[in-house]
Amino acid sequence: MNAVGIDVSKGKSMVAILRPFGEIILKPVEVKHTNSEIRSLIKAIQSIDGESKVVMEHTGRYYEPIMHELVKAGIFACAVNPKLIKDFDNNSLRKVKSDKADSIKIARYTLDKWSDLKQYSVMDEIRDQLKTMNRQFGFYMKHKTAMKNNLIGLLDQTYPGVNTYFDSLAREDGSQKWVDFSNTYWHVDCVRKMSLKAFTEHYHKWCKRNKYLFSQSKAEEIYGKAKEIVPVLPKDELTKKIIHQAIEQLNTASKTVEDLRTLMNETASKLPEYDIVMAMKGVGPSLGPQLMAEIGDVTRFTHKSAITAFAGVDPGVNESGTYNQKSVPVTKRGSAHLRKALFQVMDILIKTHPEDDEVYKFLDKKRSEGKPYFVYMTAGANKFLRIYYGRVKEYMSNLP
């Protein structure tokens, strides 16, 4: 048994190799993430007698170069959650934090968890890609929201309330009717300087050109409101340019979001649990891939409580002797991204209220009992995750 512990950082790693009973095969040594040094490490591992297993922390993207090369060379390699390494017994009263000490600690962890370690696979690469896309999706969603709020703020100075005129859903490319309308009618004077008949004809042609449904009553409503609006900024070329730039930025962000949403769904469909997850209530082509991205491979969780702890929606425990706290907040030690996706699923269940869904029934029961919002939402997320774990793990265990 040769336990290889690798403490990964940007561009370099610290490597230590141990055997049982504290036998040191290789004292901590620095390995840069270059072809020559990684190949030298691989040769050193392969030259050692006995079975070798490599463990490193799942730290950002830093571990990927060395992980990929190790897997290509046929060496058993595993990436674990840094929290597991952090909580692993130091067996010392001293608090030591250095790359050398961490590499030895990871090697000791490898020996202790030898039989439980799982080989990094190609499927893990797909999951990593999906997780990366999900983080990009979240980033661009925030950017889109900021661009939307910026545009509304500008329009409040040229055409207040125009963003409330239409409730049409966004198209596949992310475009929205109120944004397209604002691109043409960027100032209230673009509407009210015309007669009602002239505006109606102009609006009709606009709807036809942009493939939107035309409504005579909507045209009259828009024109009537325009007569009462008081703009702040003048209708000139400078104001027009500012509005159009904001619209262009929003449309770009919206298209990026929708492209990522489609790409995430296509990538998630390559995973074996895709159909099982997508069949769950409250999950759609957007939230389904997000859940799969943040949860990852459920087979690495030993029981249902492990996955709820990973998400940070497991109830905390605070007891000592005869003292036992009755109401303890959830741990929140897991993935904030996963908790956000779970809360969105709960929100959809509440809005769609599928009467035949166990999670919704549970949510509705907690709400009827008068539980606070965060209590019943977290409890529902916990139950949903347990059902997710049971269904997906049962399906995965039956795969050939």
Mean predicted confidence (pLDDT) in 26-48: 89
Q: What is the pLDDT, as a whole number, of residue 165?
A: 93
Q: What is the pLDDT, as a whole number, of residue 330?
A: 57
Looking at 243, 264, 285, the residue that finishes a domain is 264
Neighbouring-strand partners of residue 77:
54
Q: Which of 35, 250, 58, 271 is nearest to 163 (CA)?
A: 250
Lowest mean pLDDT among 99-113, 119-133, 296-310: 119-133
* Report for 299-303, 322-326, 388-392: range of highest mean pLDDT: 388-392
> In terms of domains, do 281 and 386 share one?
yes
Q: How far apart are CA 287 and CA 340, in angstroms?
A: 10
* pLDDT tens track for 115-126: 888 877 656 778
CA 272 → CA 277, 333, 392, distances in Å? Answer: 10, 28, 9
The separation between CA 182 and the C-alpha centre of its own chain, rounded to angstroms, equals 32
The one-letter amino acid at 312? G
Looking at the structure of the chain, the number of domains it has is: 3
User: Does the pLDDT at position 43 exceed 70?
Assistant: yes
CA 256 → CA 133, 170, 173, 175, 252, distances in Å? Answer: 11, 13, 8, 11, 6
Q: How far apart are CA 28 and CA 12, in angstroms?
A: 13
Within 8 A by CB and 6+ apart from 46, the residues are: 52, 73, 75
Q: Which residue has the higher pLDDT, 87 or 384?
A: 384
pTM for the model:
0.74
Looking at 68, 88, 120, the residue that finishes a domain is 120
Mean predicted confidence (pLDDT) in 100-106: 87
CA 243 → CA 79, 179, 240, 256, distances in Å? Answer: 48, 10, 5, 20
Neighbouring-strand partners of residue 78:
55
Contact status, residue 247 vs residue 151, Cβ threshold 8 Å: yes
Average pLDDT, the chain: 87
> In terms of domains, do 287 and 235 share one?
no
Instruction: Cite the beta strand spans of the chain per DSSP E.
Output: 2-9, 12-19, 23-32, 52-57, 76-80, 319-320, 323-324
* pLDDT tens track for 319-331: 445 544 555 565 5
> In terms of domains, do 346 and 239 share one?
no
> In terms of domains, do 227 and 303 share one?
no
> In terms of domains, do 144 and 91 share one?
no
> In terms of domains, do 115 and 158 share one?
no
User: Does the pLDDT at position 252 exceed 80?
Assistant: yes
Q: What share of the chain in percent tops pLDDT 90?
A: 46
Which structure tokens are listed for 69?
């090369």
Within 8 A by CB and 6+ apart from 160, the residues are: 188, 229, 230, 231
User: Does the pLDDT at position 183 exceed 80?
Assistant: yes
User: Nearest 5°: phi and psi at 243?
Assistant: -65, -45
> In terms of domains, do 53 and 152 share one?
no
Note whether residue 128 is domain-resident.
no
Q: What is the pLDDT, as a whole number, of residue 91?
A: 60
> In terms of domains, do 251 and 212 share one?
yes
* pLDDT tens track for 190-245: 999 999 999 999 999 999 999 999 999 999 999 999 999 999 999 999 999 999 99
> In terms of domains, do 49 and 19 share one?
yes
Mean predicted confidence (pLDDT) in 293-308: 86
Q: For the chain, what is the radius of gyration of the CA atoms?
A: 28
Domain encompassing residue 181:
137-264
Note whether residue 126 is domain-resident.
no
Return the sign of the alpha-carbon dihedral for residues 168, 173, 179, 183.
negative
> In terms of domains, do 279 and 365 share one?
yes
User: Does the pLDDT at position 109 exceed 80?
Assistant: yes
Pairing between β-strand 2-9 and β-strand 12-19 as defined by DSSP bridges: antiparallel
CA 231 → CA 47, 158, 177, 239, distances in Å? Answer: 77, 5, 21, 12
Within 8 A by CB and 6+ apart from 203, the residues are: 214, 219, 222
Neighbouring-strand partners of residue 7:
14
Q: How far apart are CA 198 and CA 183, in angstroms?
A: 19
Note whether residue 240 is domain-resident.
yes
User: Does the pLDDT at position 269 exceed 70?
Assistant: yes
